[in-house]
């Protein structure tokens, strides 16, 4: 069964939900099983996607119009696809054309996973260099710095990959309460944080 998912952001000019819905129906999705989200401000809660993922069963296919509908970053997108693969659920992207049920596209996704890991490591390195530079300039007093949305996402991925709150706080040069606030701000359930390591996707043949 093909399940559709559409998302728009109130802060960006992009495809409307109606436009995405029409494209998903044309791609073979049942109109009664197209889930939607409208993201506003800095909150990243996606009840529509959560409902779609909860409804899906093995051998179903999640269809989206664009790859960025599934996450704010490449790493988050790849992790979502990997989690679905673990449940024997395929993902079909209309633009650019991508289908995890095709062997050639699995190779593409593994390359994306490697790039996502590189992107995450690069951000961590830049953050550490920034903290070291600030300390060298004597700018370490005062309130703890807040993390950007991009850094917050990386912090979440590190924690869900097995890093402790303390270790992640040290990585970004912030306090433990700051990390907890960031996770809460991004809509994460602190009692059941989980994310798949974005190294290699285990996609079924």
* Residue-range domain boundaries for the chain: 2-105, 108-185
2, 94, 114 from 11: Cα distances, Å? 29, 23, 29
What is the reported pLDDT for 135? 65
H helices of 137-192, where? 149-160, 165-172, 176-185
pLDDT of 56 higher than 90: yes
* Report for 54-63, 82-91, 128-137, 175-184: range of highest mean pLDDT: 54-63
What is the reported pLDDT for 85? 86
Residue 113: closest CA among 161, 179, 147: 161
Q: Quick one: tokens of 104?
A: 């050639």
Q: Over pLDDT 70: what percentage of the chain?
A: 65
Mean pLDDT of 29-41: 88
- Helix, strand, coil shares of the chain, percent, nearest 5, are 50, 15, 35
Instruction: Give the helix/strand (H/E) hosting 39.
Output: strand 34-39
Distance CA 72, CA 46 (A): 12
Top CATH class, 2-105: alpha beta
Q: pLDDT-derived band of residue 107, with 50, 70 and 90 as boundaries?
A: low
pLDDT digit string (tens) for 143-177? 445 677 777 878 877 777 677 888 888 877 788 88
Higher pLDDT among residues 72 and 138, named by residue: 72
Active-site annotation, residues: 9
């Amino acid at each position: 069964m093909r399940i559709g998912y559409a998302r728009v952001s109130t802060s960006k000019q992009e495809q409307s939900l109606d436009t995405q819905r029409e494209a998903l129906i044309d791609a073979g999705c049942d109109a009664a099983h197209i889930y939607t989200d409208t993201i506003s401000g800095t909150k990243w809660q996606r009840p529509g996607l959560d409902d779609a993922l909860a409804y899906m069963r093995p051998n179903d296919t999640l269809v989206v119009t664009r790859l960025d509908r599934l996450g704010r970053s490449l790493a988050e997108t790849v992790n979502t696809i990997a989690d679905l693969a673990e449940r024997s659920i395929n993902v079909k992207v209309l633009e650019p054309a991508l289908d995890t049920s095709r062997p050639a596209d699995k190779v593409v996704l593994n390359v994306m996973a490697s790039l996502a890991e590189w992107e995450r490591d690069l951000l961590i390195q830049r953050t550490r260099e920034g903290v070291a530079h600030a300390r060298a300039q004597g700018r370490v007093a005062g309130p703890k710095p807040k993390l950007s949305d991009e850094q917050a996402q990386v912090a979440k991925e590190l924690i869900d990959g097995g890093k402790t709150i303390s270790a992640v706080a040290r990585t970004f040069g912030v306090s433990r309460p700051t990390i907890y606030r960031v996770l809460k701000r991004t809509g994460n359930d602190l009692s059941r944080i989980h994310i798949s390591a974005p190294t290699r996707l285990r996609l079924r043949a």
